[in-house]
Amino acid sequence: MSLPNPVITIDGPAASGKSSIARLVAQRLGYTYVNTGNMYRAVTWAVLQAGVDPHDADAVRTAAAANVVESPVVDGRTQVCVGGHALSDVELNSDPVNRAVSLVARVPEVRERLVADQRALGAIGPLVMEGRDIGSVVFPGSPHKIYVDASEEVRASRRSAQGHADQVAERDRIDKQRKASPLVIPEGATVIDNSHITLDQAVDQVIAALKLA
């Protein structure tokens, strides 16, 4: 699949720091930043708003199909809107959404729909797109792939410091074992361990690994 514009893919597990890194890499390069996790969070929010049990895949499939998710670009990054409602960070990162997002994201029809939406964003210009299957499924042909990791202990500590109660080990298990687009290290990706380095050091490592010059 040929890409109309450069796409830097940044994948990794929950609380690895990939979102902060991706956002700063995009700023440095003047690319549009896309947080695909927020797209799944938006669908999860809509599913929960509909009173659907996220463990019920059939009900999730129906509720998700009834909602339109849009990703307008605002100030160099995509936002997420459901039914015209722009979701806030508080709504996207609430504990109920945190606990349910991996369950919603494992439903194949949800992933198929959002993967198509994410690929369509490639037409808007150069992107830094982060998530869990960007280099492996969404843009496997990109020559610019990064996988950000950190130890489970460090990631759990980060989630706790953020005030969230979800368990990273359980999210890892669901993300890695789901049948549709499981979390893997994409072929050809540079792996960066973000356990014990600063954010600026991690961004510097990503920029160096990309070799865009």
Instruction: Report whether pLDDT(2) > 90.
Output: no
> pLDDT (tens digit, 9 = 90+) per residue, 160-174?
888 776 678 788 788
Look up the pTM and report it.
0.90
The answer to whether 63 touches 112, Cβ cutoff 8 Å, is no
The predicted pLDDT at position 162 comes to 80
> pLDDT (tens digit, 9 = 90+) per residue, 40-97?
999 999 999 999 999 999 999 999 999 999 999 999 999 999 999 999 999 999 999 9
CB count, 10 Å around CB of 126? 18
Residue among 146, 144, 138 nearest 126 (CA): 144
Separation between Cα atoms, residue 20 and residue 191, nearest integer Å? 16
Note the CATH number of domain 7-210.
3.40.50.300
Domain range summary for the chain, segments of one domain joined by +: 7-210
Both tokens of 43, joined, read 């669908």
In eight-state DSSP terms, residue 106 is T
The answer to whether 119 touches 127, Cβ cutoff 8 Å, is no
The predicted pLDDT at position 118 comes to 97
> pLDDT (tens digit, 9 = 90+) per residue, 182-196?
889 999 999 999 999
Separation between Cα atoms, residue 30 and residue 202, nearest integer Å? 18
Q: 53 phi and psi, to 5 degrees? A: -75, 120
Separation between Cα atoms, residue 150 and residue 80, nearest integer Å? 27
The predicted pLDDT at position 7 comes to 97
